[in-house]
Structure 1
Amino acid sequence: MTSAATTSATTTSTSPQSSSVSANLRRAGLTGAAALTAVLALAVPAAAHAEVEADKAQALAENVTLTFVSEAESASAGFREVRVVLPEGIAPADVSLGKAPKGWSLKVTADGYVVGGPALRTGVDAEYQVKVRQLPDADEVAFKTVETYSDGEISRWIELPEDGEEAEQPAPLLKLKAAAPGATPLAPSPSASPTPSPTPSAGATLSTNETTAAEAGEKKDDDGSSTGLLVGGAIAAVLVLGGGAWWLVKRRASVTGG
């Protein structure tokens, strides 16, 4: 009886200690897991603030819809426009605007396009779609993006990863599957580069020169006519004076003879 009671008392006295140790171990495990999670979160680079997705992310795919999202970062202004530099293999003429914020339009540039319009509200992401005639034959394509806010602030997402290291401000990157069997590049589209400012044509310049020459000719003719009139007037005056002198001489001779 004594032995059983002792055993029971021992068990009763050690049980709370075991529970306490188990609880401490659990807490230590949770703390370690939380610390590990925090370390891993710090080690992983921040997500890109400009991203791109495709409904057909495949090399040489045709009529592909690309969706771009620029995350709003400014606390005082909204997006006014987004400029994109197209990767090699996509011509500006091959891009057309799909869904976009109200009032926004697409303007083709020499190396890509600009989508913009009335400024969005502060904190609203800029999301729009463009349709591309064909994607290039590549493993991945980058769309360097420059965002402009209504207060003039500019955010550039144009960096590409180098030597396996993530860029601080990465350009939106689209990974592509291998091209489908038999897929081939389409013929290039006509260039849609911006029309340069109007300049005087050769015909217009020639017309101006002709007008100037005509004016000069008219001035010369006028000068010649004026000179002719002066000379003629002088000759007439000489003749009148000569005739008058002859008449006086003749009259004097007549009077003297009489």
Structure 2
Amino acid sequence: MNRSRARLRRLRFRRLGISAVGALVVVGVAAGPAAAHAEVTASDPRALAENVTLSFTSEAESETAGIAELRVVLPKGIAPDALTLKDAPKEWKLTATADGYTIGGPALPTGTDAEYSVTVRQLPDEKSLAFKTLETYGDGKVSRWIEVPTDGEEVDNPAPALELKAAAPGAKPISPGPSPAPSSAAPSIRPSTASSSAPAASAGARATSAEGAGSSTGAVGVIAAVPVLGAAGALWWMRRNRGRA
């Protein structure tokens, strides 16, 4: 009787163990795809904080290729020229775009997370910031972490988000740094110079043409007067000879 009870206990323990392992496997499979994500942290997560280091992590989720490039859309209040690259994988470079930046280089080893950091001149006066990110792998696969949840709802591909604390007492927005001169500045100056010289040139041309016209008119007048003077001289000579005769 005791032996049969012991056997029943062992069977129950085995069944419980198998069930627990199965549950863990199911949880692991379900959490696998959702585990990969992109996130951001700040050295000073306060509104209007200056010279803040933002650290980004994009977890690798491909089993065939490594991350080669990240495309980030900056939130309102942070201009592309207001940040500089602080740390990144070897040979990766940061390039500013119209609405953010790209950072990338040689593809990382498969399964390696992409980690880098930038320094921001000043954080905006906001409560939270979202950095929409596109991850491009060496084989061309693209993961889009661009969804911004509203009203506390959950999303499948959330953008890296940073919650900001209230600004420090007395903190104020700093004036933006000097913007580089646009490459089209020189061409914009050249047409204005040409247009100002064009009237002078046309005026000179008109003056020259006027002078030429005056000279030609004078020459025509002299040529026309020569026959008249010749005829008058001949008439005077004939009258003089008749008087003598």
| TM-score tier after normalising by the smaller chain length | 0.7 to 0.9
Question: Is 1:98 aligned with 2:86?
Answer: yes
**Corresponding residue for residue 27 of structure 1:** 14
Question: Which residue in the other structure is 1:233 paired with?
Answer: 219
Structure 2 unaligned residues grouped into runs of 5+: none
* Match in the other structure for 1:214: 200
User: What is the letter of the counterpart of residue 222 of structure 2?
Assistant: A
Give the corresponding residue for 1:4: none
In structure 2, the partner of 1:190 is: 175
Tell me: CA distance 1:149–1:196, structure 2 relative to 1, closer, same or farther (3 Å). farther
Computing the radius of gyration over CA atoms, which structure comes out larger, 1 or 2? 1
Greater CA deviation, 57-66 or 230-239? 57-66
Question: Identity of counterpart residues, as a percentage?
Answer: 38
Within-5 A mapping of 1:70-219: 70-73=58-61, 75=64, 78-86=67-75, 95-108=83-96, 113-121=100-108, 123=110, 124-133=112-121, 140-148=128-136, 154-175=142-163, 183-184=168-169, 186-192=171-177, 196-199=182-185, 206-219=192-205
- Normalized against structure 2, the TM-score is what? 0.73
1:238 and 1:98 map into 2 onto residues whose CA distance is 89
Q: CA deviation at 1:235?
A: 0.7
Q: Could you tell me whether the CA contact under 8 Å between 1:60 and 1:185 is conserved in 2? A: no
Q: 1:118 corresponds to which letter in structure 2? A: G
The 1:77/1:26 distance shift into structure 2, 3 A limit, reads closer
Equivalent position amino acid for 2:184 in 1: P
Change (3 A) 1:154 1:230: farther
1:66 has 2:66 as partner: no
Q: TM-score, normalised by structure 1?
A: 0.70
- Provide Cα deviations, 1:168-189, integer angstroms capped at 9, x if missing partner: 111113356x66xx93263222
- The 8 Å contact of residues 146 and 158 in structure 1, kept in 2 or not, is answered as yes
